[in-house]
């Protein structure tokens, strides 16, 4: 459908398949990162929620501890773009007020786009979100989308004095159980892959 699972698989595992299977369960992935433009090492936790309408009642369970969300639509499917408003309402009603949202248009490589870059960018501008077009298939802007989200979260936390910019250490006990753990300063950790196996919270939809 819109390609949320393909995006997370490409980002974390570096894989892609054209074979489509409807997601029947919420998937969890993690990736160690260095927050772009900083020396802070952390772990991004990614919840790939169920996007079908019939599963809509389940998704809010996974929003509650989230601090960032990628709101994904298919550039070739107008209905998926229009549905973003409804999905955002769920995010807004079931996550923290400071949750960072980025609008992501997938399948930008397709020649039959019906949602132009300008339409996506203008909608995101009106909402105050970040915006990026990506292709999981061609690996276009996948790393950048997650990096931009991580950087926005980090700087929001620094501005709120919940993260010490000199050390990268979170000052908020609640945030230590949310999406990006910014207290890890061991640069020996891999900057890719599935991480240490310690589960700290949820992140991206």
Determine whether 202 is exposed, middle or buried from the number of CB atoms within 10 Å of its CB (0-12, 13-18, 19+). buried
pTM for the structure as a whole? 0.75
**In this model, does residue 128 exceed pLDDT 90?**
yes
* pLDDT value of residue 157: 80
- Confidence label for 176 from pLDDT (cuts 50, 70 and 90): very low
User: Do 141 and 134 contact (CB within 8 A), yes or no?
Assistant: yes
Specify the pairing of strand 27-34 against strand 41-48.
antiparallel
**In this model, does residue 8 exceed pLDDT 60?**
yes
Which has the higher per-residue pLDDT, 26 or 111?
111
- 4-184 is classed CATH 3.30.420.40: no
Backbone angles phi, psi at 79, to 5 degrees: -60, -40
Strands (E), 90-179: 100-106, 130-133
Which has the higher per-residue pLDDT, 177 or 144?
144
* pLDDT value of residue 166: 54
Specify the pairing of strand 41-48 against strand 180-184.
antiparallel
């Amino acid at each position: 459908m819109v390609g949320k699972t393909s995006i997370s698989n490409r980002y974390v595992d570096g894989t892609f398949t054209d074979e489509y299977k409807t997601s029947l369960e919420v998937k969890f992935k993690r990736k160690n990162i260095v927050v772009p433009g900083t020396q802070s090492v952390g772990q991004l936790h990614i919840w790939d929620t169920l996007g079908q309408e019939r599963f809509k009642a389940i998704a809010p369970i996974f929003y509650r501890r989230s601090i960032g969300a990628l709101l994904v639509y298919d550039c070739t499917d107008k209905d998926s773009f229009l549905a973003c408003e409804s999905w955002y309402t769920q995010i807004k009603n079931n996550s923290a007020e400071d949750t960072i949202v980025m609008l992501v248009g997938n399948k930008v490589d397709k020649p039959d786009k019906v949602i132009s870059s300008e339409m996506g960018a203008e909608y995101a501008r009106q909402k105050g979100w970040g915006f990026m077009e990506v292709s999981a298939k061609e690996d276009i802007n996948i790393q950048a989308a997650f990096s931009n989200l991580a950087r926005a979260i980090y700087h929001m936390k620094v501005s709120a004095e919940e993260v010490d910019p000199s050390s990268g250490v979170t000052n908020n006990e609640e945030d230590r159980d949310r999406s990006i753990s910014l207290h890890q300063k061991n640069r020996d950790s891999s900057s890719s892959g599935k991480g240490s196996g310690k589960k700290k919270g949820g992140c991206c939809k």
